[in-house]
Amino acid sequence: MEITGNNTPDADVTDGKVYIFDTTLRDGEQVPGCQLNTEEKIKIAKSLESLGVDIIEAGFPISSPGDFQSVQAITKAVTEPTICALSRAVEKDIECAAESLKFAKRGRIHTGIGTSDQHIFHKLKTTRENIIERAVKAVKFARNLIDDVEFYAEDAGRTDNEFLAKVVEAAIAAGATVVNIPDTTGFCLPDMYGEKIKFLKENVSNIDKAVISSHCHNDLGMATANSVNALRNGARQVECTINGIGERAGNTSLEEVVMTLKKHPELNLVTGIDTTQLYPLSRMVSETMGMPVQPNKAVVGSNAFAHSSGIHQDGVIKNRENYEIIAPEEVGVQNSDIVLTARSGRAALKFRLGAIGVNVDGEELNSLYKEFLLVADEIKVVQDEDLRQLYRKHQKVA
């Protein structure tokens, strides 16, 4: 098995290359009702490869024979990205993860343990010293099986920074190539999370030997902001999922982070993602998982390129950039949508009539508009067929 390669982050990354670590098939798939079979997981993994993600977290192999089999099948079906398998800091988990990766061209074991006092005292019921010992032992054990080992400090978001720095330093000394700083409970504010990353950059003596990874949850709706702030403070890997799917309120949404970096070139942070595949992949994941995307979801929601108020419609018809910072085709959406409702104005009505081959102006447009408002108040959204009917009726009366 080749274990290092183009997609394994260099320890001394100083430029703006951001590694996209997709965990749709692991953290995303943990959502109740979203479980996938091996065939479905392979289909998604292949699309993630084509999208250009650097790392695919394919599953948690010790959790079930089916998950083990899926991870292994993905290592055979997908060759470009690094394939990552999750484990607890437990030898049998780590062995199982290594076994599931044995056919991978590039494989990574992701192992770790809780580091917050909450987890140490109330979940693991142990001491801080014991956590460091277990972290070191797990990383060393994993490094004997594979060259690429990512360490996660679970609940790092609520972990005291001084202690977190000690754990991270020990994990890197034990051989971790990537250190993941999860805000497991989605607790952090963007400034807090950014400062945490900065603190690690400044206080972990061997931090140049590993890549810092952000892993945020969306309990307070700040996962994307937190991830971007982590990158601005020195993280160079971002863990995310398609549609932000994930436990509770979800994980950082891949499409939001990628488009934020694309829309802000002044940040000098770049990904290798082909953004034109974002929308089709979002739909595919939503359908495969049976998990609808909220209409107002940033970047990929059905309303993300829809305009329904008169002022906005008039502005978009004059120049799309008046109200859109993303061109629909940049993310694989065909067109902006001018939705006709009772809030629409004459410009939108004229525009949509034009699209069905009816060109009206002046007084005729005014009188049609009055009739249109009556229909719109009644049926809420006026579709092309309703417009045709409206126009036919109008012609008869005129």
Q: Which residues are at the interface with ligand KIV (CB under 6 A)?
A: 27, 152, 154, 180, 182, 184, 215, 217
Q: Which does 196 bind (CB under 5 to 8 A by kind): Zn ion, ligand KIV, none?
A: none
Q: Which does 154 bind (CB under 5 to 8 A by kind): ligand KIV, Zn ion, none?
A: ligand KIV
Torsion angle of the four alpha carbons 100, 41, 269, 213, in this order, in degrees rounded to the nearest 10: -40
Q: What residue ranges bind Zn ion (CB under 5 A)? A: 27
Residue 183: CB minimum distance to Zn ion, A: 9
Q: With respect to ligand KIV, which residue has the nearer C-beta, 143 or 215?
A: 215
Residue 48: CB minimum distance to ligand KIV, A: 18
Give the span between the Cα atoms of 367 and 187, in whole angstroms: 55
DSSP alpha helix (H) spans, 144-189: 161-173
Q: With respect to Zn ion, which residue has the nearer C-beta, 27 or 150?
A: 27
Give the span between the Cα atoms of 388 and 267, in whole angstroms: 48
**Phi-psi domain of 251 (left: phi exceeds 0; alpha: psi -120 through 50; beta: other):** beta
Q: Which does 253 bind (CB under 5 to 8 A by kind): Zn ion, ligand KIV, none?
A: none
Residue 291: CB minimum distance to ligand KIV, A: 18
DSSP alpha helix (H) spans, 123-189: 128-143, 161-173
Check the CA dihedral 323-328-329-331 and report its sign. positive
Q: With respect to Zn ion, which residue has the nearer C-beta, 27 or 255?
A: 27
Judge contact between 26 and 86, C-beta under 8 A.
Answer: yes
Residue 237: CB minimum distance to Zn ion, A: 14
Q: With respect to Zn ion, which residue has the nearer C-beta, 164 or 348?
A: 164
Q: With respect to Zn ion, which residue has the nearer C-beta, 27 or 54?
A: 27
Residue 180: CB minimum distance to Zn ion, A: 9
Could you tell me how far CA 34 lies from the centroid of its own chain?
16
